[in-house]
Amino acid sequence: MDRLEGKRAIVTGAGAGIGRSIALRLASEGARVAIADVDESAAGKVASEIEGETLARRTDVTRAGEVEDLVAGVVEAWGGLDVMVNNAGVGVAATAVETTEEDYERVMDVCVKGTLLGMKYAIPAIRRAGGGSVINMSSVAALVGITDRAVYSAAKGAILSMTRAAAVDHVEEGVRVNCIAPGTVDTPWISRITSGYEEPEAARANMQARQPHGRFVTPEEIAAMAAYLAADESASCIGACMVVDGGVTAR
Ligand X SMILES: NC(=O)c1ccc[n+]([C@@H]2O[C@H](COP(=O)([O-])OP(=O)(O)OC[C@H]3O[C@@H](n4cnc5c(N)ncnc54)[C@H](O)[C@@H]3O)[C@@H](O)[C@H]2O)c1
The contact set with ligand X (CB under 6 A) reads: 12-13, 15-19, 37-39, 42, 59-62, 87-91, 110, 114, 137, 139, 182, 184-185, 187-190
- Of 188 and 214, the one with the shorter C-beta distance to ligand X is 188
Closest alpha carbon to 135 in 182, 87, 183, 90: 87
Active site residues: 152
What burial class does residue 1 get, using C-beta atoms within 10 Å of its C-beta: 0-12 exposed, 13-18 middle, 19+ buried?
exposed
Cβ 2 to ligand X shortest distance, Å: 26
Query: What is the side-by-side strand order in the sheet with 54-58?
Result: 54-58, 32-37, 8-12, 83-86, 132-137, 175-182, 241-244
Cβ pair 181, 160 in contact under 8 A: yes
Cβ 158 to ligand X shortest distance, Å: 12
Radius of gyration of the chain (CA): 17
Cβ 240 to ligand X shortest distance, Å: 16
Closest alpha carbon to 137 in 56, 67, 229: 229
Cβ 245 to ligand X shortest distance, Å: 8
